[in-house]
Amino acid sequence: MHPSAAAPDTRPGSGPTAAELLGFVRRTAADADLIASLPLDPEGRTWIRLDGPGGCEAWLIGWPPGTGTGWHDHADSIGAFTTAAGALTELSLAARLPTDGWKTLELAEGIDRTRELTPGQGRAFGRHHVHEVLNESTTVHAVSVHAYYPPLPQIRRYSRTGAVLRLEHVERPEDWQ
């Protein structure tokens, strides 16, 4: 599996690139002791904040069977994630959506993408990447490593019914306290 190409940020002093974030999450996912240190909860996701490179926001996340994120994006942040244990499915849109000024969009045919990510597999993504990440297993926890730069300014949450994507709400860091 090859990571999705993400347009690197080439501004001077702009922090890590998507490729550098992907390298970090892959190295971190290979740290068996760190992965084993994550407490797993059968009911909900668990997480540990990590020290990421270049001022990025990084997380180790545990996914109980049958859990997921819902459709969302990371606004102006680039990111990367790698599965460390179990398997994750990423559903994403292969289209750049407008960033502001809409509440409902009808999606064109053929833009849906599905990736199965087993241990060691990951991907990088650019700004405004709309996706949903799921642990579709009914019996096995998954664990993954995620990194974002700049640190998440906001997350936009969406609902999806067929071809219709609706912006439901915008979360900001103060909402996560």
pLDDT band at 8 (very low <50, low <70, confident <90, very high): very low
Helix (H/G/I), strand (E/B), else coil: 37? helix
Rounded mean pLDDT of 92-98? 87
What does the alpha-carbon distance between residue 165 and residue 157 come to, in Å, rounded to a whole number? 10
Mean pLDDT confidence for 112-134: 96
Enter the pTM of the model.
Answer: 0.88
**For residue 2, is it within any domain?**
no
Domains in the chain, number:
1
How far is the C-alpha of 36 from the C-alpha of 49, rounded, in Å? 15
Q: Give the separation between CA 153 and CA 157, rounded to whole angstroms.
A: 13
Average pLDDT, rounded, for the chain? 90
Residue 87 domain-assigned (yes or no) = yes
pLDDT of residue 99: 74
Q: How confident is the model at residue 11 (pLDDT cuts 50, 70, 90)?
A: very low
Place of tokens 């001022």: 55
Whether 12 is covered by a domain: the verdict is no
Q: What is the CATH number of the domain that holds 60?
A: 2.60.120.10
Over the stretch 124-167, which tens digit does the pLDDT of each residue have?
A: 999 989 999 999 999 999 999 999 999 988 999 999 999 999 99
CA distance 35 to 76: 28
Is residue 9 in a domain? no
**Structural domain span for residue 162:** 18-176
Residue 81 covered by a domain: yes
Tokens for 142, please give them. 């998954």
pLDDT greater at residue 10 or residue 111:
111
Between 35 and 96, residue with greater pLDDT: 35
158 in a structural domain = yes
Look at residue 37 and tell me if it is in a domain: yes
pLDDT tens profile 26-44: 999 999 999 999 999 999 9
Portion of the chain with pLDDT greater than 90, in percent? 81
